[in-house]
Amino acid sequence: MKRRDFVETTVRSAVGVAAASVIPASAFGNSLLKFTQTPLGFPYAALEPHIDAMTMDIHFNRHHTAYIKNVNDAIEAEKIAVTDELEFFASVGKYSAKARNNGGGAWNHNFFWKLMKPSGPGPQGKLAEALSGAFGSTEKFKELFTAAAMGRFGSGWAWLVKDEGKLKIGSTVNQDNPLMPGLDIKGTPLLALDVWEHAYYLKYQNKRADYINAWWNVVNWDEVAKNI
Ligand code: MN3
């Protein structure tokens, strides 16, 4: 029995109502899913000169904070009854655009922040082997991932995923992610790059290629390796 079903059953028994009747959401207290914002693991200026402090501050405190608030508002308004984020994305087609877009924005940025750190070594060990096995070399992987990020017209994300044991590269529009069904790319995300203009415009203006080239300097490969 899923946690929520258990809660509903328990509440129904407790208040003595038939299973078929509608239970007000208030009866469940805080049982609706709530997205939370993962703190940044570094100061805003830590990724300078590649990602500037003002971009990090605005990106984290305005854009990401808004996605978190808005998805939680949508979950409340739509009474979205899921037990975790994976379940939320698996059934995202049933929700409003507000829930989908802000849910993606909430999750994607939590994932993205962890994937960056002040400079460190490139991919090591098993991850380096996996990238070479799938794409020829780490350099070739970076070329292909960069191409996916450059090829995403307008706002979106580039992804490295593991899908049925295979590493794949792709991109999504808006705040969609590979956990959402029915997209060109699916699987467990290993690495993500935000290519919305808000991620780079202050420093790089329209030069997305320069932003991507700089971003490779701050990829947290240890974190990518954990996802594999
Ligand atoms: Mn963003």
Q: How far is the CA of 157 from the centre of ligand 1 (A)?
A: 9
The pLDDT score that the predictor gives to residue 86 is: 97
The pLDDT score that the predictor gives to residue 30 is: 56
User: Is this model's pTM higher than 0.85 or not?
Assistant: yes
SS3 41: coil
| Mean local confidence (pLDDT), 114-126 | 93
Q: How far is the CA of 131 from the centre of ligand 1 (A)?
A: 26
Q: How far is the CA of 77 from the centre of ligand 1 (A)?
A: 24
Residue 24: asked if its preceding bond is cis (omega within 30°), the reply is: no
48-76 pLDDT, tens digit per residue, is 999 999 999 999 999 999 999 999 999 99
Domains located in the chain, CATH noted: 48-228 (3.55.40.20)
Query: Residue 204 corresponds to which tokens in the numbers above?
Result: 């790089």
Confidence of residue 119 (pLDDT cuts 50, 70, 90): confident
Average pLDDT, the chain: 90
Q: How far is the CA of 199 from the centre of ligand 1 (A)?
A: 5
8-17 pLDDT, tens digit per residue, is 444 434 443 4
Query: 157: which strand partners?
Result: 172, 194
Confidence of residue 31 (pLDDT cuts 50, 70, 90): confident
Q: How far is the CA of 64 from the centre of ligand 1 (A)?
A: 7
Q: How far is the CA of 24 from the centre of ligand 1 (A)?
A: 35
Helix (H) or strand (E) holding 127: helix 125-135
Q: How far is the CA of 195 from the centre of ligand 1 (A)?
A: 7
